[in-house]
């Protein structure tokens, strides 16, 4: 089973052009390799989330995440809020996403204030995930099927001294939140260091960056990831404190019932 966790500054522009005959298939293969570069049966993390407002004020949250492929290799992820400085009422909020191959993922959220599990409609995908700079679509995009987009290599350049492919990915579904995504993928290790996200009008609205990597159990893993909303002047930074691969996670964790009870 293959799992990817890049949910996820100085760019050295060398301006090295890629030959115009670069194949679309090559770009798709590079994206697929990047998204599936970490091989693990399960992933468990505890992270500190720092949300920075336009005025510079910050809020802090602690989140646990559990990831495990299903019997058909489909991605399944649970996110649980364990602590929040502001607002405090999101503690014990739990979110579940189940991958649907070739279509929109199934998503549910448990809101303690309502004491109920609610299914997230596909039309809500662009909405903010619990007041962060991440949307519901962003949460799922780490495992987005490369076949849902058309990919092309637009150039090669260094990012933080690392030779990268710069790949533009355009969703085939016109209903998707973004009109295109531009990715900086390391040619040597397939790490996706940076993703620029563009809205329907072609405006660059968000940037996702991996700011720090760490070797964990022989796997080069994102340790600090930042999502910035350029149009709002806000950002959300995720700092991993604990990361464990291949631990046991009960199947019942990946159910709406677990969201309600918090018990497997």
Q: What is the mean pLDDT of the chain?
A: 87
Q: Where are the beta strands (DSSP E) in 13-127?
A: 42-52, 58-68, 76-84, 94-98, 106-111, 116-120
* For residue 204, pLDDT beyond 90: yes
* For residue 5, pLDDT beyond 50: no
pLDDT band at residue 123 using 50, 70 and 90 as cut-offs? confident
* For residue 9, pLDDT beyond 60: no
Output 23 or 184, whichever has higher pLDDT: 184
Which percentage of the chain shows pLDDT scores above 90?
69
Q: What is the pTM of this model?
A: 0.85
pLDDT band at residue 88 using 50, 70 and 90 as cut-offs? confident
Rounded distance between C-alpha atoms, residue 183 and residue 77, angstroms? 23
Cα–chain-centroid distance for residue 137?
A: 9
- Distance linking the first and last C-alpha atoms of the chain: 22
pLDDT of residue 6: 41
With tokens 């959220």, the residue in question is 109
Rounded distance between C-alpha atoms, residue 84 and residue 29, angstroms? 39
pLDDT of residue 86: 75
């Amino acid at each position: 089973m293959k799992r990817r966790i890049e949910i996820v500054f100085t760019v050295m522009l060398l301006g090295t052009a890629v030959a115009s005959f670069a194949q679309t298939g090559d770009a798709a293969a590079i994206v697929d390799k990047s998204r599936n570069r970490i091989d693990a049966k399960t992933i468990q993390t505890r992270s500190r989330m720092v949300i920075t407002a336009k005025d510079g004020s910050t809020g802090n949250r602690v989140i646990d995440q559990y990831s495990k492929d299903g019997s058909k290799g489909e991605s399944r992820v649970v996110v649980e809020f364990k602590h929040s400085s502001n607002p405090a009422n999101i503690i014990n909020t739990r979110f579940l996403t189940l991958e649907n191959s070739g279509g929109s993922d199934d998503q549910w959220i448990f809101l303690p204030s309502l004491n109920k599990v609610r299914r997230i409609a596909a039309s809500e995908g662009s909405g903010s995930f619990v007041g962060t700079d991440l949307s519901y679509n962003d949460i799922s995009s780490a495992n987005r099927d490369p076949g849902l987009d058309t990919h092309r290599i637009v150039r090669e350049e260094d990012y933080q001294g690392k030779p990268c492919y710069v790949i533009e990915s355009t969703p085939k579904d016109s209903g998707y939140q973004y009109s295109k995504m531009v990715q900086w993928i390391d040619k040597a290790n397939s790490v996706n260091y940076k993703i620029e996200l563009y809205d329907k009008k072609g405006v660059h609205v968000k940037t996702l960056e991996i700011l720090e990597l760490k070797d964990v159990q022989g796997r080069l893993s994102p340790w600090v990831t930042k999502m910035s909303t350029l149009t709002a002047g806000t950002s959300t930074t995720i700092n991993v404190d604990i990361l464990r691969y291949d631990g046991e996670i009960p199947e019942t964790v990946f159910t709406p019932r677990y969201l309600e009870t918090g018990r497997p």
